Every structure is written in structure tokens, then in C-alpha cells.
Amino acid sequence: MIFVTVGTQGHFDRLIRTVDVWAGLRGRTDVFAQTGPSKYRPIHIGHKPFIGPVEFRKQVEKASLVVAHAGMGSIITALELGKRIIVMPRRADLGEQRNDHQMATAKRFAEQSRIVVAVGEQELLELLDQLGMHRDAERIAVQASPHLITTIRTFIKSGNVDLENSGVSTSVE
């Protein structure tokens, strides 16, 4: 089963339309999408505008592949559950986002070889056609490692946090 998600904060018709068209051309009936406030109504895939956190996690758990926008929640959940994920970031130049933070997120995770990224529709279609070639994702831990927590705790307790000279505003306006 393929689970597609665009998050809840905005439409992402380009992603939903591309997967819907692909599913229709390939005769795939095992695709379900959480579409958000999309204007596009899929024809070939199951869909709901919104699902709750419990249902979201269930969908990711039963999926063999997740296709998502570059939202941290979607990426982290897929990686936590060891699911393969193709990410298509929303793009500011197409009016899908105010800035390109999703492009930056996708680039960073791709550099770590944790996700596969499709910037455009044609690239997404090609990646979907190569489903068997995607390797399973390595699971990430649900919590930060004890070493990281100890390091941060030690840093904070050492008094090396100098908010006055850090450039961080500490005033309440």
C-alpha cells in the first residue's frame, strides 16, 4: 500500500494530481492520500482531506511506501517506522509555500541518504515507476540518544549559555 500525505496546512494539488494520474495509468488500487485542503479531487486513489494523528500513524505503519511533502512530521514518522519515503517539497516559485524551507529540509535529509527527493512531477513519476528499486529505510530512534541528552544537559549546566551575547532576544514585548 502507498500512503500519500500533504500535511494539513495547505493544499498541494501538484503532488496529489501526479500520484493520482500515475495510479490511474498503472492500474494501482492500493494508494490512499491525505489531501489537506486540496482543490483537486483524485479519481484513481482513495483519499480524505484530513485524518487524525492515530489514523495517520496507522496509515504509515501499513504502507510499504510513503509519498509526502517535505514536512518534518511526515518524514520523521516514516523514518521512525522504517518506511521508504519519496519526498516532493512544496516550492515557493510555484506559489505552494512562502519560502523554500521544504526544499532545504528535503536537501538535508537527502544528503544523509534517508529519503528520495522528487522536485518535479516527471521525477516523481519516474521514482514511482522504480518502486522495487527503493531500499527500505533505516529506522531512527523515537527519542534522542542518551549521549546527546547528556551532552546538552552538561552544556547547559556548565553555564556556557550566554543569551546576552548570543544575538537571541530575551526581552518580552
Which sequence spans correspond to the domains of the chain? 2-133
Give the architecture (CATH level 2) of 2-133.
3-Layer(aba) Sandwich (3.40)
Please compute the mean of the pLDDT values over residues 122-144 and round it to a whole number.
72
Rounded distance between C-alpha atoms, residue 149 and residue 159, angstroms? 16
**What is the average pLDDT score of the chain?**
83
Find cell 496546512 and name the residue: 9
User: Could you read off the pLDDT of 57-71 as tens digits, one per residue?
Assistant: 999 999 999 999 988
- Of 66, 69, 18, 63, whose CA–CA distance to 44 is shortest? 18
Which residues, other chains included, contact 126 with Cβ-Cβ below 8 Å and sequence gap of 6+? 118
Q: What's CA 35's distance to the chain center, in Å?
A: 13
Torsion sign (Cα): 65, 71, 75, 80: negative
Instruction: Examine the pLDDT at 36 and tell me if it is beyond 70.
Output: yes
Q: Which residues have CB under 8 Å from 18's CB, separation 6+? A: 88, 121, 124, 125
Confidence of residue 127 (pLDDT cuts 50, 70, 90): very high
What is the distance between the alpha carbons of residues 69 and 86, in angstroms, rounded to a whole number? 9
C-alpha to C-alpha distance for 77 and 4, rounded to whole angstroms = 13
- At 124, the pLDDT band (50, 70, 90 cuts) reads very high
